[in-house]
Structure 1
Amino acid sequence: MTDVEALLRRVDGYLDAAPRAAARPVDAGPLRAFVSTAPWPYYVRPRPDLDLRAPGSVTAADVRAAAQVLREAGQAVAFEWVEELAPGLGAVLLAEGHEVRRFPLLVQPLPAAGRAAAGTAARLLDPDDEQLPAALAVQSLGFGAPGTATGPAGSAERDAHVPEPGLLEHVRSTLAAGRSVAAVAELPGDGVVATGWHTPVGPTTEVVGVATLPAFRRRGAAAAVLEVLVADAERRGCTLALLSAGDDDVARLYESAGFRRIGHVGAAEPRGPEPDRA
């Protein structure tokens, strides 16, 4: 097994373990559906205990069966997978009428060597931090305007944003339990302008939800958040951090912070409206 394959297998195992704190796994052949108990939905993933690299390892019938598990639970259908470990899954999903996307997959062994200090101050959030609603708002607004370009959404839009019902309470509970860690970058007079999270499971963690208010992009705020998150992961004893980037431009920013590409994450959702889940 090559070093890259070993990393891909480790990432795949983590991605199977991480949802279990807030989802119930249900196997459907070579696939595993995660039925969410959180305020957000989860997805179907290939089972990491199986070798699914050969053609025909996942069939259309497998895809339909796994999708039905989520539909019967009243949840939206979505699939995620490590492309290099299930290379035929994307084509099957396309043939079944799904929209398929791919994202760069990057990792950084920890402890990280030679991190450059970011120019913007960032800090971790406690579960009861009064800036947690602002962090959730920044995440929503940042992902609502993908990419790295600046945009109009700023402090006023952040302050007007209201978190979805139950989301704030759930996030506070995951922070209190240590299942996730949140960080923010703040600017004097502007408040929270960037945020991000990491979710440790054993010696591996995933950096997720790194977002900057579009009006404050290209000022180093996201880099400051990333630095704080990686440093916290090191303190917790993690030896590998992983993340998926929204596109190649975003991936290059992570590469400049010490991450390296090892593959791609696939993601798919049905095209058009989903059947009524009521």
Structure 2
Amino acid sequence: MRGVPYLELEDLPALLERLEHYYDAVPRSGARPENFGALTLFVRAGQGWPFSARPALGRRGEVRAADVHRVRLRQRELGVPESFEWVAETAPALQAAVEQAGLFVRACPGDGGALCAGQQQPVGKVSEIAGVGALPAARRRGLGLAVSAALVADARSRGVETVFLSAATRMPPGSTLGSASAPWPPH
């Protein structure tokens, strides 16, 4: 692609470090961090989708299954999903700790690429959601709904009052429009 810089392999550690700082910073604007050893659980202040627990920024040592158990207990107290997220390259031992604590791990994406994407196109107080699509292997998992909901939330946070969804009438061969049972628009 013209205009898109190519990432050199030696730049990967610096990129991963920037991403870890980003993953830690995003929830802090609307959540309170609670530390559990080498894990941080961001507890949302007010309404909104709950955050997953993740490795603490600047942690020392590996995450232990006991840390995962403590986070899961707190998530149950809060009535939020028991979920964890991390970048495998920055916390390679976390998967074993999470599995040892009794959770199933699904690698996303696993091959280094995105599973689902979409875009919103705001103009003034109106925005169109368009181009939402998932890879064939990732369909029927609710990813399109999740991406759409995130785009709506982003538009609303930027002052957009009207959001609408455009869908193609003709889909490429092998593609499907998924359905999910969820309220729309998401709150």
Q: TM-score, normalised by structure 1?
A: 0.43
Asked if the contact 1:32/1:46 (under 8 Å) is kept, the reply is yes
* 1:24-79 Cα distance to aligned partner (Å, 9 max, x none): 22111110001234432210000121244xxxx11111001122222222211110
Aligned-partner residue type, residue 68 of structure 1: L
1:28 counterpart residue number: 36
Corresponding residue to 1:174 among 139, 145, 157: 157
Aligned-partner residue type, residue 39 of structure 2: L
Asked if the contact 2:41/2:52 (under 8 Å) is kept, the reply is yes
Partner Cα distance (1:127, 1:28) in 2: 43
1:8 counterpart residue number: 16
Aligned-partner residue type, residue 125 of structure 2: D
Partner Cα distance (1:38, 1:217) in 2: 38
2:185 counterpart residue number: none
1:129 aligns with 2:103: no
1:42 counterpart residue number: 51
* Pair 25,216 (structure 1): closer, same or farther in 2 beyond 3 Å: farther
Aligned residue pairs, count: 146
Q: CA RMSD in A?
A: 3.8
Aligned-partner residue type, residue 47 of structure 1: A
* Pair 126,28 (structure 1): closer, same or farther in 2 beyond 3 Å: farther
SS at match of 1:176: coil
Asked if the contact 1:31/1:62 (under 8 Å) is kept, the reply is yes
Q: CA deviation at 1:84?
A: 1.3
Percent of matched pairs sharing the same residue = 30
SS at match of 2:80: coil
* Pair 97,214 (structure 1): closer, same or farther in 2 beyond 3 Å: farther
Pick the structure with more strand per residue: 1
Greater RCO, 1 or 2 (C-alpha within 8 Å, sep 6+)? 1
1:75 aligns with 2:84: no
Q: CA deviation at 1:176?
A: 2.8
Unaligned runs of 5+ in 1: 108-121, 152-157, 178-182, 185-190, 194-212, 219-278
* 1:171-199 Cα distance to aligned partner (Å, 9 max, x none): 4441239xxxxx99xxxxxx713xxxxxx
Asked if the contact 1:26/1:32 (under 8 Å) is kept, the reply is yes
Asked if the contact 2:127/2:155 (under 8 Å) is kept, the reply is no
Q: CA deviation at 1:127?
A: 6.8
Partner Cα distance (1:51, 1:31) in 2: 10
Matches within 5 A, 1:90-239: 90-102=95-107, 103=109, 104-105=111-112, 124-126=121-123, 128-129=125-126, 131=128, 135=129, 142=133, 146-148=134-136, 171-176=154-159, 192-193=166-167, 216-217=171-172
SS at match of 1:92: helix
Asked if the contact 1:26/1:35 (under 8 Å) is kept, the reply is yes
Unaligned runs of 5+ in 2: 1-9, 140-144, 174-187
Corresponding residue to 1:58 among 53, 59, 63: 63
